[in-house]
Amino acid sequence: MNEQNNSPSTAQINVELEDRSYPIFIGSGQLAAVGISRFVQGKKVLIVTNTTVAKLYLPTLEAELSDKQVDSIVLQDGEQFKNLDTLNSILTKLLDSKHDRKTTLIALGGGVVGDITGFAAACYQRGVPFIQVPTTLLSQVDSSVGGKTAVNHPLGKNMIGAFYQPQAVVIDTDSLATLPKREFSAGMAEVIKYGLIADADFFGWLEQNSAPLKQGDQAALTYAIERSCLNKAKVVSADETEQGIRAILNLGHTFGHAIETFQNYSGWLHGEAVAAGMVMASKLSLIMGGITQSEFDRIKNLIKSWSLPVAPPTDMTAEDFNKLMYRDKKVLDGELRLVLLRALGDAEVTSDYSVESLQTVLSSSFSE
């Protein structure tokens, strides 16, 4: 992994994975500046987007691909559509339009579009290239980088998928100007996560720089996205298929995925569920002696400052969590492993916690 800083408002990171390495371009105006067509190997492209994003950015992307044969498919917007039926509609579009093995898929949208497009690319004719053009903060700092692709199942989130790396990731921060405030805050949950798991200095920077981030300052946004992507790229380069350390990227996600599944993927946003999950994981880390009460309070206060949940849904019981968490992908041989903090900025994947302490956390109200 290496980094190239061109100006305070643009950056480039390379994810080093031998023959699967790829660049991440970050900054204002990148959709036009990068020359995305050079990452398309054949003549044909299928752009996958959704009803919200298509109106805003599909014409711009199509103009950047004027030298290619471009088809597009517009999906319904929402986590509840990240399923096998939607995947099948993408595959049907590819077949109907006679796309071959040199076709490139481009994901134009948030995490749902990126995950399902990547999985379609992994499946179609046993694998065709794809490019990520993430348009939400959450997808820019997390789901577009690292090659995790998937769809949901009614019984569990992201249970059907593949590790499949993109050819490039193009992060145009201008897209954040049209992102609803709630979606931006949800993305900040994943940004905060990187400070918690591996970068205490970045956590401190986030505590000090909420104002410029909330004001949409381009230099601050680019820095936050770049620092997040650097942290993720470092972990992915060391453990591409999550055999070990990569699982630390799931801080709060075991709790969060349980919340999303409980709500049938139509309640809280992913980042909101992860935010509550990170508070729960931090609480268990506090009980187990990994972090201090002061550090727990800092974590909770930073998450809360972005109007994110710091407690699970009031209608969700400890029994609900217990049932759903044991379907998590980090369960091995019936043992539930969790991502916990050894210190602020240092996470581990462990089953070395007391069941009683976990049940205390699941039963807590997290009230002020």
Q: Is the pLDDT reported for residue 6 higher than 50?
A: no
The per-residue pLDDT for 305 is 98
Residue 78 near residue 52, CB atoms below 8 Å: no
Just list the catalytic residues: 126, 148, 190, 232, 242, 246, 250, 253, 257, 270
- pLDDT, one tens digit per residue, over 267-323 is 999 999 999 999 999 999 999 999 999 999 999 999 999 999 999 999 999 999 999
Please list, in sequence order, all residues whose beta carbon lies within 8 angstroms of the beta carbon of residue 303, skipping any fewer than 6 positions away.
189, 192, 275, 278, 279, 310
Q: Which superfamily is assigned to 182-362 in CATH?
A: Dehydroquinate synthase-like - alpha domain (1.20.1090.10)
Centroid of chain to Cα 74 = 21
Q: Does residue 368 surpass a pLDDT of 60? A: no
pLDDT digits (tens, 9 = 90+) for 47-104: 999 999 999 999 999 999 999 999 999 999 989 999 999 999 999 999 999 999 999 9
Cα(96)–Cα(126) distance, rounded to whole angstroms? Answer: 17
Domain ranges of the chain: 2-178, 182-362
Does residue 5 carry a pLDDT above 60?
no
- Going by the DSSP 8-state scheme, the letter that residue 39 receives in this structure is G
Cβ(210)–Cβ(220) under 8 Å? no
Inter-residue contact 23 to 14 (CB < 8 Å):
yes
Q: Quote the DSSP letter at residue 143.
A: I
Question: Identical fold at 2-178 and 182-362?
Answer: no
Residues 2-178, CATH architecture: 3-Layer(aba) Sandwich (3.40)
Amino acid (one-letter) located at 94: L
